Amino acid sequence: MRRLVGMEIVEEDASNVNVQFLLDATTLSPDKILKRMSSIVLGMFRDTTSCLVSDDRSVLDTMPSRDDEIDRQYFLLVRLIRSAMVAKKLATALNLGNIDILDYRVAANLLETAGDIITDLAHSISELPISKSDTKKLYDVAKEIENVHEKSITSFIENNRKLAIEAITLHRNYQKKIHSVGSSIDPKKQGSIQLLNLIFTFEKLSRCWADVADLVKPVYT
């Protein structure tokens, strides 16, 4: 129940629990919910990557609970857009067409997946042997994902195709850099396998943002 926003128990006995969704859908905004999810994910990412160059990794323990909040917001957004599919008046009030509803569902799913990936990333970093030279390289490149994230989310919410293309281009450049870091890692060095796994995880995460940018509609002139 804690993971379901707006769901409240309205009746309960020894063998049954009845719950009801009490939020008024017309007061909700899909773009604000998506921004909320994006903000949590970005905060998780920044805190997790900072542990690559910090001896204090206590913040990594907070990632599962923060990921739970992303799940709650994901449930809320899915509930809203499903309601919009059924009630055309609600879809009109939210200014959502059929394609918009589908795109919001996909974008929200990508953000929810990103939260799961960052949680796995935090777990991997917590068990990583500290090697400041290699982790510093990885940190410098990983930070560039933030630019891809911010441009992708903004381009989707604003339906800005030009910004989406910038995000996709940044993602392609990032891929080249992260592959370069992977090639520079000595396979015989302690922790090399863990570092290569981190690189793979960062690639999966950046792919989420590129996929969000891909949802932005082309503009035909």
Q: Domain ranges for the chain, please list them.
A: 7-214
pTM confidence score: 0.87
Q: Who wins on pLDDT, 30 or 26?
A: 30
**Which of these ranges, 4-8, 43-47, 189-193, 213-217, has the smallest mean pLDDT?**
189-193
Region 102-116: mean pLDDT is: 95
**Which of these ranges, 127-141, 157-171, 192-206, has the smallest mean pLDDT?**
127-141
Instruction: Please state the CATH superfamily assignment of the domain spanning residues 7-214 in this structure.
Output: Phosphate transport system protein phou homolog 2; domain 2 (1.20.58.220)
12: which strand partners?
Answer: 17
Instruction: Find the length of the chain.
Output: 221
User: Distance between CA 203 and CA 102 in Å, rounded?
Assistant: 25
User: Distance between CA 117 and CA 143 in Å, rounded?
Assistant: 16
81: pLDDT confidence band, cut at 50, 70 and 90? very high
Region 130-142: mean pLDDT is: 77
Contacts of 39 (CB under 8 A, 6+ apart): none
Report pLDDT for 221. Answer: 59
Contacts of 201 (CB under 8 A, 6+ apart): 117, 120, 121, 124
∠ CA(203), CA(181), CA(210), 5° rounding? 25
Residue owning tokens 């796995």: 120
